[in-house]
Structure 1
Amino acid sequence: MSKIYAVEYHYVTDKDEEMAAVRPSHRAFNGRLADEGRLLAAGPYVGTHDALIVVRAEDEAGALALLEDDPFQQAGFISERIPREWNPVIGVLA
């Protein structure tokens, strides 16, 4: 049975222009995962170089593997990914 994982992305801070060029591919990648039902939500934290990606996976390693082909990851724009199993008890994801 799959679980829900919140994966926090910490982006490098000196590549904003390069990231802007890759962002459409990054969003298309996330969109495909969402269409498949494996990505539940994604977006940046306002005013930071961080983002949150919420996915369905069997385990922590699976959550990271699911996101390995993210164009931002492939281009080296993500300095750290922190996966945490999340247990929503109220709301549409509960």
Structure 2
Amino acid sequence: MSTTFAVIYTYTDDTALREATRPAHREYLRGLAEEGSMLIAGAWAPGEAPGGLLILRTEDKAGAQAIVDKDPYTSQGVVANAEIREWVPPLGPVAPAISGQA
């Protein structure tokens, strides 16, 4: 049974590194989406602190950590911090699909 995890990325201030690594990061995320491990991902709006959010479906927190560890943003030093939390949203029109109850 898969579990849903929210991954909150905080990026370093090195925008040149982030821009240089972005194509590999996005290709990696596309692969995760195609295999069903990633439900959605995106960066915070320009007015927010640099970072982003990934919603993942994995067997356990170790699986989510492995995805984070393999992300080019992590391996190349773009991610300063990655917080991983299990997420079970009970309300809203997409909650059943996200929480695996659909």
Q: TM-score if structure 2 supplies the norm length?
A: 0.85
User: Which residue pairs with 2:93 in the alignment?
Assistant: 91
Q: Which runs of 5+ in 1 are unaligned?
A: none
Query: Letter of the aligned partner of 2:94 in structure 1?
Result: V
Aligned residue for 1:72? 73
Q: Secondary structure at the match of 1:8?
A: strand
After the TM superposition, list the runs of 4 or more consecutive aligned residues in structure 1 that deviate by more than 6 angstroms: none
SS in 2 for 1:68: helix
Which residue of 1 is the match for residue 2 of structure 2? 2
Instruction: String of CA shifts for 1:45-73, please: whole Å, max 9, x gaps.
Output: 11221100000012222111122111111
- Work out the CA distance in 2 between the residues paired with 1:62 and 1:18: 26
Identity among equivalent positions (%) equals: 38
Write 1 or 2 for the structure with the bigger share of helix: 2
Compute the RMSD of aligned alpha carbons. Answer: 1.1
Gaps of 5+ in 2: 97-102
Q: How many residues end up aligned between the 2 structures?
A: 93
Shift of 1:17: 1.1
